[in-house]
Structure 1
Amino acid sequence: MSVTRFPLTLRVTVSGANPDEIRENARAQAHDFFGPDAELDVISAEAELLAEPVTRYRATVAFRRVA
């Protein structure tokens, strides 16, 4: 039986206080899914301000593993 291979896009939603924290949290989730040594491309990333007393942002980031 053959194995079907095709690219997967992973979308993660994370929050953080600044862009670096958001990037770190998103990358950690992507490496949990694709593997710790996977080389990843960011397909898209969008952030929004959350309505909280403390300034926080929520972002949705789409990753794809480099073939």
Structure 2
Amino acid sequence: MSVTRFPLTLRVTVSGATPDEIRENARAQALEFFGPDAELDVMSAEAEWTGEHDKHYRAIVAFRRVA
């Protein structure tokens, strides 16, 4: 028996200067993957300063589509 439907977790790496910018960039990538009408749940999100500029952060955000 083959399972064709199972939950996927998508991890995206984004950057930005503010939490809102990071959230919007991550959400845009997740919607591109899951589809524009997908309802998404954030499984985890971690941000860190890149050290490149005063206000430049990188974040890894994990999404799962709500069933």
Q: Same fold (TM over 0.5)?
A: yes
Task: State yes or no: 1:52 paired with 2:45.
Answer: no
Q: How many percent of aligned residue pairs carry the same amino acid?
A: 82
Distance in 1 (alpha carbons) for counterparts of 2:53 and 2:61: 24
Verify: 1:14 aligned to 2:14, yes or no. yes
Per-residue deviation, 1:54: 3.8
Q: May I ask how many residue pairs the two structures share in their alignment?
A: 67
Q: Structure 2: state its 5+ residue gaps.
A: none
TM-score (norm 2): 0.93
Q: Which runs of 5+ in 1 are unaligned?
A: none
Q: Following TM superposition, where does structure 1 have runs of at least 4 consecutive aligned residues deviating by more than 6 angstroms? A: none
TM-score, with length taken from structure 1: 0.93
Partner of 1:24: 24
